[in-house]
Amino acid sequence: MKKTIALLTGGTTGEWVVSVKSAATIAQNIDTSKYEVYKIMLTENGWFYEPADSVKIEVDKNDFSLNIKGKKIVFDGVFIVIHGSPGEDGKLQGYFDMIGIPYTTCNALTSSITMNKGYTKAIVDGIKNLNIAKSLQLFKENYSVDEVKTQLKLPLFIKPNNGGSSIGMSKVKHFDDLQTALDKAFNEDTQVLVEEFVEGREFSIGVFKTKGKIVVLPTTEVKTKNEFFDFDAKYTPGVTDEITPGDMTAEEKARVEQIVADVYVKLNCRGIVRIDYFLEHNTGKFFFIEINTIPGQTATSFIPQQVAAMGMKLQDFYTQVLEETI
């Protein structure tokens, strides 16, 4: 018997377009012999299902159901594909927990914590072979530029603590540019992470669980023509080379796979996550950047690339994710 799945997309942030494109990839690759899929669009004006042959049908938020031509549709589970808030920060997960519907992502607590880069780094600090760049977490109401200048060395990365897609992020090479970068980041969030730059090669790697076993996908090496892997580099064709699988030695590959599996366990992850990291030049040390608990699933996103490099069909991949979480 088919399970009824809500594919929840949209959102209210600047990552709306990526969420919609990700949902399209998933919808095209879900096994329709096992799952009946309803794409639900979350917008600032409401939550809607829009059939091809009729007007929008609003979701009943009391139990997350639909009424279609007098028939009530209830869901066995939800595939959440909303990047940023409210899909990636735990808000939707808390709602589904309260009404008792399973979903494909990390739980509300893990989702909420991992949206905060500073809190996440504090938790994973101490994992064997994992290094963290020296940093300061600043709060908009009370921070000191002088503290940054005295405690950290240039160059610096300035990041909104709860943001995604590198929106509001800057690289600072001169302290004269620090305040402008902080203002840009604080325009996106009330907390900002300032961290020392790590000179190294950048990678991104997917992790998921199937049949109770953690599986690490082949990594993607990121080589961008921009100063760093910013929003433009992520979403503008031709700006960045993405090499899957990335070039690592056998020792680096084994070490990275163990570290990211340990991160997955330490943060109590579920579903698909993506972990970004540097391998420092000269030393080869692993430096944790961040974790994405709802990584992009567009046709050109890292995860589909890595699934293909593993020799797996996307349909089989999404089936394994659904079977593990719903």
- Domain of 276 in residue numbering reads as 113-131+199-312
SS3 content of the chain, % helix, strand, coil (to 5): 30, 30, 40
- Give the active site residue among 85, 165, 170, 204: 165
**Annotated binding residue at 107?**
no
144/226 same-domain check: no
User: According to the model, what pLDDT value does residue 50 have?
Assistant: 86
For 125-137, the pLDDT digits (tens) are: 999 999 999 999 9
120/240 same-domain check: yes
Segment 35-51 mean pLDDT: 93
- Give the active site residue among 15, 188, 221, 257: 15
Q: Where are the beta strands (DSSP E) in the chain?
A: 3-10, 35-43, 46-49, 57-58, 66-68, 71-73, 77-80, 130-131, 135-139, 156-160, 170-172, 191-196, 200-210, 213-216, 220-224, 240-243, 273-280, 286-292
124/247 same-domain check: yes
**Annotated binding residue at 292?**
yes
- For the cut 70, the answer to whether the pLDDT of residue 231 exceeds it is no
CA angle, corner 221, sides to 169 and 110, nearest 5?
60
Q: Is beta strand 77-80 parallel, antiparallel or unpaired with respect to 3-10?
A: parallel
77/225 same-domain check: no
101/117 same-domain check: no
126/148 same-domain check: no
Residue 88 lies in a domain: yes
Residue 324 lies in a domain: no
Q: For residue 202, indicate whether it is catalytic.
A: no
- For the cut 80, the answer to whether the pLDDT of residue 167 exceeds it is no
Domain end position, chosen among 196, 211, 245 = 196
Confidence category of residue 234, pLDDT binned at 50, 70, 90: very low
87/155 same-domain check: no
User: According to the model, what pLDDT value does residue 111 have?
Assistant: 97
Residue 47 lies in a domain: yes
Segment 186-215 mean pLDDT: 94
For 247-306, the pLDDT digits (tens) are: 999 999 999 999 999 999 999 999 999 999 999 999 999 999 999 999 999 999 999 999
Q: For residue 19, indicate whether it is catalytic.
A: no
Domain end position, chosen among 87, 105, 123 = 105
User: According to the model, what pLDDT value does residue 225 have?
Assistant: 66
Cut 0.85: pTM above it: yes
- For the cut 50, the answer to whether the pLDDT of residue 112 exceeds it is yes
**Annotated binding residue at 189?**
no
d(CA 127, CA 77): 33
97: alpha, beta or left? (left if phi > 0; alpha if psi -120 to 50): alpha
Q: For residue 15, indicate whether it is catalytic.
A: yes
Domain end position, chosen among 196, 215, 243 = 196
- For the cut 80, the answer to whether the pLDDT of residue 235 exceeds it is no
User: According to the model, what pLDDT value does residue 12 have?
Assistant: 67
122/227 same-domain check: yes
The total domain count for the chain is 3
119/265 same-domain check: yes
Average per-residue pLDDT for the chain? 92
User: According to the model, what pLDDT value does residue 2 have?
Assistant: 95
> Which residue is associated with the tokens 């349909």?
315
User: According to the model, what pLDDT value does residue 230 have?
Assistant: 46
208/304 same-domain check: yes
User: According to the model, what pLDDT value does residue 168 have?
Assistant: 80
- For the cut 90, the answer to whether the pLDDT of residue 232 exceeds it is no
Lowest mean pLDDT among 96-110, 138-152, 158-172, 212-226: 158-172
118/232 same-domain check: yes
160/54 same-domain check: no
- For the cut 70, the answer to whether the pLDDT of residue 124 exceeds it is yes
